[in-house]
Amino acid sequence: MMDFHVMLTPDVGGKTWDASSMLHYAALAGLRFVGLVLPSDGSNFSELTTLSAQVRKLSLYANVEARTGVELRHIPPALLPSMVREAREAGAELVLVHGETIDDQVEPGTNFAAIEAGADILAHPGLIDEKAAAFAAERGVALEFTSCPRHALTNAHVAAMALRFGCLLVRGSCARCAAEMTTRTFWPQIIKGADVFGKTGEKSNLLELLKNSEFQLLNALMTSPRGREK
């Protein structure tokens, strides 16, 4: 089981949820891979090189594979191409962009700009339109299927667009602490709740898309020294 969107956030419940803590809780949740991401506006890119090295060392003993990156939040769409590039140059192995979730007032055009900029994952893309979904499929940018209650209301729509246009679709929890970590046993229920797409050969189309997409993205991350080069 994989979760590409686990946050390293210092302000939840007065505790600092560092990489070692989140890897520990990820292992307890039954995960085999996590993407550990810093919320960022670009001002903390200098932390990435040290953090990435620490995460790789810790993951050797945590029984969970991990890669480190950023979630770019509320970046003006015109700045996303340069910001994604700078994040990769600073050492980000995984680049997410905070998408146009219906839970937040994200600037219109962010979804398309994130795809055009070559992010790895468009996080919680909300009511993503056909043009952006088709472009994501063309560019190989993954859409996020989320377990975060604040963003998951559009999961079925996102999944439908991914299935229709052939987009990559990967799981992400936006977990900021142990209590928000989605477990291996709970993920199937979330998927089943959004899976209205039927089966092919007795297999869930949505589950098959998630599994295939996640292995494709994971393979790209594992074979590149700093994630996918766009």
Res 197: pLDDT: 85
Res 203: pLDDT: 74
pTM of the model: 0.93
Side-chain-side CA neighbours of 102 within 13 Å: the count stands at: 10
- Residues 45/90, Cβ–Cβ less than 8 Å: yes
What is d(CA 100, CA 110) in angstroms, rounded to the nearest whole number? Answer: 7
Res 9: pLDDT: 79
Does residue 13 carry a pLDDT above 60? Answer: no
Res 81: pLDDT: 97
Over the chain, what is the mean pLDDT? 92
4, 50, 73, 112, 123 from 40: Cα distances, Å: 16, 16, 6, 19, 14
Does residue 28 carry a pLDDT above 60? Answer: yes
- Quick one: 2-223 is in which CATH superfamily? Metal-dependent hydrolases (3.20.20.140)
pLDDT in tens, 80-104: 999 999 999 999 999 999 999 999 9
Give the residue among 209, 27, 105 at the shortest CA–CA distance from 6.
27
Q: What is the mean pLDDT of residues 176-194?
A: 92
What is d(CA 20, CA 8) in angstroms, rounded to the nearest whole number? Answer: 10
Q: What is the mean pLDDT of residues 164-192?
A: 94
> ∠167-173-175 over CA atoms, to 5°?
150
| Tokens found for residue 49 | 């090189």
Checking DSSP bridges between strand 169-172 and strand 142-146, what pairing results, if any? parallel
Res 217: pLDDT: 97
Res 11: pLDDT: 55
The H-or-E segment that residue 60 falls in is helix 48-62
Give the residue among 2, 55, 8 at the shortest CA–CA distance from 33.
2
Does residue 227 carry a pLDDT above 70? Answer: no
Res 226: pLDDT: 53
